[in-house]
Amino acid sequence: MSKSKKRGLGRGLDALLGGADTAVLDAEPEASESSVSTGTAVVADDGQLASDNVPDRKGLKQVAIDQIQRGSYQPRRHFEPEALQELADSLSTQGMVQPVVLRPRAEGYELIAGERRWRAAQLAGMATIPAVVREYSDADAAAVALIENIQREDLNPLEEAAALQRLQAEFGMSHKAVAEAVGRSRTAVTNLLRLLDLHDDVKKMVDERSLDMGHARALLGADLADQYTLAKMVVDRGLSVRATEALVKNYRSGASSRQETKATMTKDPDIQALELRLSDTLGSQVLFKHKPNGGGKLEISYASLDELEGILEHIR
């Protein structure tokens, strides 16, 4: 199977990590995560990083595990126990070559990137692990932690959205600034942040991956109290994103379940496709109200002035 194309790093991240140290984030996440490309470090006969032979460039050193504390900007909430144990077994036999990223604290170090490796190393009983130690501001630490996880492409959408919101809230960043920091489009950032407005039970469905991001975004057009009911209908019926948008629209107008289903099936597919394409482009819900005589209305919804600014940028 071919490997998927990885997202680009955010603007200025190379400077944050110090040039060659971007390998810490760019390395392809193999099953073991225990090694990187040749030349990153010198490995001793027992598979451990040979600290005596490693040049002290860019802060690369061995750090005692008990001196490392969990990062305050880690976006990931879930770590699969089986996957951690598999990684720990690999570390026990091969050692750890790909370093974690730390910043010094008053007592020890704070983990910036590489929490899976750090957790697995504890399971493997390792006393020290290789680390790149650098000074980071809080904003830089948050950006690196988020991007390291985005690069691995296995954060669920709500974890990513919560991390983006934290960048925005704690550091006063606009959607545009957040997008530049993490190497995503402004539209993508806006779409992710809107997921945080979902009903808590719908968020749980997204967390558990029983409802994907496209369907969840479509449900944002419904009243908060109705979203969970509609989400269950979407899953039970196996509706497409376009059908979900039609369902939400008809539910809001007070149609019965029978009418909803009929409307979902009979709405002009070309209009549905155009609504979906424009919604994806603008990062906001777009609805066409088309009349038989060829006229009609185009409605674009926005939830904040920041979203409105993004829409206007696309139109200009």
pLDDT at 151: 61
- DSSP per residue over 152-187, as a string? HT-S-HHHHHHHHHHHHHHHT--HHHHHHHHT--HH
Spatial distance between the Cα atoms of 75 and 71, rounded to a whole number of angstroms:
9
Q: From the candidates 110, 115, 148, 245, which is the catalytic residue?
A: 115
Could you give the residue ranges of the DSSP H alpha helices within the chain? 13-17, 23-26, 81-94, 115-123, 138-152, 157-171, 175-182, 186-194, 200-207, 213-219, 224-237, 241-252, 257-266, 269-282, 305-315
pLDDT at 241: 87
Helix (H, G, I), strand (E, B) or coil at 131: strand
The CATH class given to the 13-138 domain equals alpha beta
Which tens digit of pLDDT belongs to each residue from 124-170? Answer: 999 999 998 988 888 888 878 777 766 665 678 888 888 888 878 87
Spatial distance between the Cα atoms of 150 and 29, rounded to a whole number of angstroms:
12
pLDDT at 37: 30
The domain spans of the chain are 13-138, 198-315
Q: Are strands 60-64 and 100-104 parallel, antiparallel or unpaired?
A: unpaired
Inter-axis angle of helices 186-194 and 305-315, to 10 degrees? 150
- Does 115 qualify as catalytic in the annotation? yes
| CA 142 to each of CA 16, 33, 108: distance values in angstroms, whole numbers, following the listed order | 11, 22, 19
pLDDT at 292: 63
pLDDT at 276: 74
pLDDT at 1: 42
User: In the structure encoding, which two tokens stand for residue 183, read together?
Assistant: 């190497």
Which parts of the chain sit beneath pLDDT 70?
1-59, 77, 149-154, 254-269, 290-294
Residue 209 Rama label (left phi>0; alpha psi -120 to 50; beta)? left
Spatial distance between the Cα atoms of 130 and 218, rounded to a whole number of angstroms:
45
